[in-house]
Structures are given as C-alpha cells and as structure tokens.
Amino acid sequence: MQGYVVSLVIFTAIFAVFGLGLNLQWGFTGLINFGHVAFMSLGAYTTVLLSLQGVPLVISVLGGAMVAAAMGLLIGISTLRLRTDYLAIVTIGVSEMIRLIAVNEAWLTRGTFGIQRFPLPLATFNPAIPIRVGMIVLFAGVLGLGYWQWWRWLKQHIRQVPRKSLVKSSIVAFAYVGSGALLVYGIGATARHLKQTNALPPLGLGFGLFTATIAFIALYVWLARTVLPKVAEWSAGLTVVCNLILALLGLWIARFAITAIYQYDRNPAKTGLMFVAVLLVGLIYWALEKLVRSPWGRILKAIREDEDVTKALGKNVFWYKLQSLMLGGVIAGIAGALYAWQLTTVFPDNFQPLVTFNAWTIVVLGGAGSNAGTLLGSAIFWAYDTITRFVLRDIVPLEDSRLGAFRIMVIGLILIVLMMWRPQGILGKKEELTLGR
C-alpha cells in the first residue's frame, strides 16, 4: 500500500506541475495550447540524454527546461499572431512532429526502443535518521503551507455565513454526501456480487447497473435543486463538508508518504523522487502565485480579457504572450524530467496527445486561472484514475480492453456535467472564462 501511495503522490505532483504550465498559458493568458506535451517530451529527452553523458541531474533538468523554452520561443515567433483555433491546430501539430522525430531519429532518441537505465535523483542517497527527520519536517512544511492556503480560502468563503446556519447546513450536507456514498457503495457491492456469482448475464447486469446509476443521479440532482435549497446556506455547508473530507483524505495519504521518507532505504529511488516532486510543486506554485499577482501577471489577465484594449494601452501584447508561452514551456519541461524519472524509461509513445488532454482535464476541473484549482484538479483526476482502475473491474461487465475506454467515457461525462453545473471549474471564477468567447 505504501509503495502505491508513493507512486500516486508522484504522478499527482508531476501532473500538477504540468497543469500549472498549461494554466499559465491558457488560464491566465488565454493561449489555447493543444500541444503542451511537446514541452514535456523535450524536457524528458533532454534531461535523460544529458544525464547519460555524466551531466549532473540539476543541470540536466535546467537544460531540458531551456530546450523547452527555446521550443516555446520558436512556436511563439511563428504562431502567436494567430488566434484561438489556428493556434490550437498549430500547437497540436508541433507536438506530433516532436513525437515522430523521437520515433525516427533513433541515433539520438533510440527510437521505439526507448532510453533506459539513466540516473535517478536521490536513488543512491541513504540519509541518516536525523537527515530523514529533516526531510520529513520539510515535506510536512510544504503540506502545512498548502493546508494553510486551503484554510484561508475556506474561511474567506464562509466568513459571512452565520455560525448557527453553517452548523445546521453542514449537518444536512454531511447527511446528503454520506447517504450518497452509502448508496454508491451499495450499488457497487450488489453489482460485484452479481458479477462474481454470474446471477445475471452481462447484458442484464450492465442494464441494471446503468438504470441504478441514472436513478441515483436523478434522485440526488432533484434533492440538490428542490429540497436542499430550503435549508439556509446549504451550499456553504456542502463546501465545508467536501473540503473536510478532502483534507482528511490528504492527511491519510500524507501518513504513508511521511512513513516512506522515514523508511527511505526500502525504496530510495521512488521516495527520493516523491520528495523532490512535492518540493518542486510547492516552489513552482509559490513562484507562480507571486508572478500572477504582480503587474506582469495583471497584464497577462488583461490580454486574456481583451487583447485590443491592452494593445491600445501601450503594452506589447506579442512579447507578453511569448513570455507566457516560454515560461509555461519551462514548467512543462521540468514536469517532463519528473515524468521520465517516474517511468524509468522514455519512449515516444509516452508523449501521446492524450497526455495534453489529461492536463486540460485537470485545469478545467480545478478551474482555469486558479493555481490552487490546478493542484486540486490533479489530485481529483488521479484519485479518480486510481479508484476506477480497481473498482470498476469488479463491477462493470466489460473486458479489460474495453474498461479503459469506459473509464475515459465516464470522466468525459463528469466533465460535461461539471461544465453544465459549474463551467468555471471547482475553484475558478466565472468572469474569467476564456473559452467560448
């Protein structure tokens, strides 16, 4: 369990970094980049190729980030004068071009055989107990700052709600969420039993599961629209309950991660990567928060809202968009280095367009223009991926080959529902939407 949680934390951190780069480009600047994985692939390949030549890992990562920035410069000079759809088409074409170069230029990238056996960060590091305790303190400090930011956000959203109403609405929301969780568990346990005992044919089980799911969704949507609004400030109570559940889940996962650091010698490569990845998430998040709140960040938001007005005020729109694209590429290049270290092999097929759209899912889910939303979106995305990977196999009457497509279809449906209910995402602001303008 501990090893799996460490791997889950690593993937969540990698895609949080990757999503932060995309959020800077799209959420804050309005650049629709469907080829974001190109920066990740360049960062991954450059990092591992340099490290194989004996270059220190830190310099290798910086080299990968600079190569990704150079690609952003080339893309930006040639395409940033294009608008919306055309920019998206060009960027996805560039990402596929990079992947095909990696496939065909075997003298450099070893083609479809991939690059393996390259150095990993902290893999040979065996810290003494005092150093491990220090690493735990640093790791816990990053988590503590994250919880502090979360508490500030939550307090800001409920500060005008009367205490009595908040307590009452929280109890109602807890009953709503808890009963829903019990019903989902009951539906899943029943379907699992029927599948294991072959009490129903696959078609009958699938139809029954589909009917039960639709009925469950209809019932709880009806409750949310007609019954619960009669409770004063019920949405604030629901916010408190959902945030409390997520906070407790985060603490449960953190327990495994901290234990892994203390028992560092059991799996030094993965534990060291987890430590590095979480620290990088904290550092990049802090730096981006400073940037987007600076005059530079306000200009990016102005460009997102109306390019022509920003240009009329004397700002060089092209130059600021180019900076945003390059900086987002640097962040994605760092994510590529982490991704290569996590996979321990680098193949061209690791960088399919689906990786970009996973990042889009994360950003849209958390809320465009919100760095905290990107972190939350990454956590929710990988929690969903983990739960459905193990749970649906025992419930849904499909073969493994079809189950993967079914999981993608389900998250697509979830995104459709989210766009109908809250188009700005979980932590996004409706007035800062950039698509559909």
* Residue 193 belongs to some domain of the structure: no
Domain hosting 255: range is: 2-161+233-432
Count up the domains in the chain and report the number.
Answer: 1
Q: Give dist(CA 203, CA 134) in Å, integer.
A: 56
pTM: 0.90
Contacts 24+ apart (CB under 8 A), 49-55: 49/108, 49/115, 51/118, 51/119, 52/115, 52/118, 52/119
* Residue 177 belongs to some domain of the structure: no
Nearest to 413 by CA among 203, 188, 173, 217: 217
pLDDT by position in tens, the chain (length 437): 778 889 999 999 999 999 999 999 998 998 889 999 999 999 999 999 999 998 998 999 999 999 999 999 998 888 877 666 788 888 899 999 999 999 998 888 888 888 888 888 887 888 888 999 999 999 999 998 888 888 888 888 788 888 888 888 889 889 988 998 898 888 888 888 887 888 778 778 878 888 888 888 888 888 888 877 877 777 888 888 888 888 898 899 899 999 999 888 888 888 989 999 999 999 999 999 999 999 999 999 998 888 888 888 888 888 999 999 999 999 999 999 999 999 988 999 999 998 999 999 999 888 888 898 899 889 988 888 887 777 777 777 777 777 777 777 777 777 777 777 777 777 777 666 655 44
Alpha-carbon separation of residue 82 from 28, 52, 87, 180, 433 (angstroms): 18, 39, 6, 47, 20
Which residues lie below 8 Å from residue 271, measured CB to CB, with a gap of 6+? 6, 122, 260, 261, 263, 264
